[in-house]
């Protein structure tokens, strides 16, 4: 399986010790998912822990009445802490995971990861690092939602997007942005207009250009 996409795993050869790396090569499975595909829904069982080799996965929370809220992105080389802890505690998923762009995942069978924790220090370090950084991200989310107003949250969101894509052009509709921030299209249009008047960005159809002094 691994041979189908040689090279993707290489970046881990320096992170993990050789024995672990070898085990990963023989036991795990490569998977491709395409932009927009949902990998995991709340309530679903977790059969394998994914590590993102290439691409981006969006993790979000769904409210009782179906409203969505962006929690964080999982990027290249990272994994989802929620998945680790869910499967070590043998629980079903509490979040939704969607491919933000076409992505390649390394899927590690659930039954292996726990043993690796005791056997391989580098794996333990990787897992704990992942968990730590997710706590940090979630706290950032909480700060944003609890203490910041929508205009700040919007600016943060746009900056993040721009950083992620490496471009000052953002190709999203106001509706898409509203969905990710858990609000309403009109609110986003209103705030974007305000930002345009403040000369912090330019608005086009399906596109937003961030100006230098965001």
Residue with tokens 């937003």: 208
Give per-residue burial for 90-99: e unless 16+ CB within 10 Å, then b: eeebebbbbb
Residue with tokens 């993040």: 160
Residues 135-194 that bind a second copy (CB under 8 A): 135-136, 138-139, 141-143, 145-147, 182
Give the H or E element holding residue 139. helix 121-147
Q: Given its phi and psi angles, is residue 103 left (phi above 0), alpha (psi -120 to 50 degrees) or beta? A: beta
Nearer to DNA, 88 or 187 (CB): 187
Contact between 41 and DNA by CB under 7 A: the answer reads no
- Residue window 76-105: x/- pattern of binding to a second copy, with contact defined by CB under 8 A: -----xx-xxx-xx-x--xx----------
Contact between 61 and DNA by CB under 7 A: the answer reads no
Contact between 9 and DNA by CB under 7 A: the answer reads no
Residues 75-134 that bind DNA (CB under 7 A): none
Q: How is residue 46 written in tokens?
A: 């977790």
Cβ–Cβ < 8 Å for 207, 171: yes
In whole angstroms, give the CA distance from residue 87 to residue 102. Answer: 25
DSSP code at position 200: S
Residues 22-51 that bind a second copy (CB under 8 A): none
Binding site for a second copy (CB under 8 A): 61, 63-65, 67, 69, 71, 81-82, 84-86, 88-89, 91, 94-95, 114, 117-119, 121, 124-125, 128-129, 131-132, 134-136, 138-139, 141-143, 145-147, 182
Binding site for DNA (CB under 7 A): 149-151, 173-175, 182-187, 189-193, 203, 205-207
């Amino acid at each position: 399986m691994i041979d189908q996409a040689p090279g993707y795993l290489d970046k881990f050869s320096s992170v993990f010790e050789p024995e672990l790396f070898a085990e990963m090569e023989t036991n795990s499975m490569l998977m491709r998912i395409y932009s927009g595909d949902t990998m995991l829904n709340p309530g679903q069982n977790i059969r394998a822990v994914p590590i993102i080799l290439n691409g981006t996965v969006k993790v979000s929370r769904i409210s009782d009445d179906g409203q969505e809220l962006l929690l964080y992105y999982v990027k290249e080389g990272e994994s989802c802490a929620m998945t680790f802890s869910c499967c070590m505690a043998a629980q079903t998923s509490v979040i939704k995971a969607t491919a933000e762009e076409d992505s390649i995942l390394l899927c590690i069978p659930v039954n292996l990861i726990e043993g690796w924790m005791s056997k391989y220090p580098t794996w333990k370090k990787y897992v704990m690092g992942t968990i730590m950084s997710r706590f940090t991200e979630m706290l950032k989310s909480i700060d944003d939602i609890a203490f910041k107003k929508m205009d700040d949250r919007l600016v943060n969101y746009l900056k993040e997007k721009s950083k992620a894509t490496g471009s000052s052009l953002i190709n999203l509709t106001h509706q898409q942005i509203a969905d990710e921030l858990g609000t309403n299209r009109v609110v986003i249009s209103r705030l974007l207009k305000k930002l345009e008047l403040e000369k912090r960005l330019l608005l086009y159809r399906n596109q937003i250009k961030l100006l230098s002094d965001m």
